[in-house]
Amino acid sequence: LKDIASLIPKTMAEEMGFNHTRLIMKLRSPVNLSAKDIIRMAFYFALDARLIFSQCLKDVNSNKDLTGKLTKFRNLREIRTKK
């Protein structure tokens, strides 16, 4: 998704209801995209939202640093059980 970030002008972001800077940041780090954001983009571009979700997952899974940080959420269960 970060590849398309440079292709989205400010007017297009505003038409979709996004702040341009915030949208570009979310496209560069798709883990920050909400389901609402993805569905809004899918309607705007007349795409199946599952295609955008799929690309988000590919981008997240290809980023080893990010996946390492996200796996820490799994450890919250361990923290809760240690109390």
Looking at residue 75, what is its pLDDT?
Answer: 59
Please tell me the predicted confidence (pLDDT) of residue 46: 96
Of residues 22 and 68, more confidently modeled: 22
Q: What is the pLDDT of residues 36-79, one digit of tens each?
A: 999 999 999 999 999 999 999 998 888 888 777 777 666 566 65
3-state secondary structure of 64: helix
What integer is the mean pLDDT of 1-17?
93
Q: State both tokens at 81.
A: 């059980």
Residue 2 has pLDDT above 80, yes or no: yes
27 contacts 55 by C-beta, under 8 angstroms: no
- Confidence check: pLDDT of 83 > 90: no
Contacts of 51 (CB under 8 A, 6+ apart): 42
The predicted pLDDT at position 32 comes to: 87
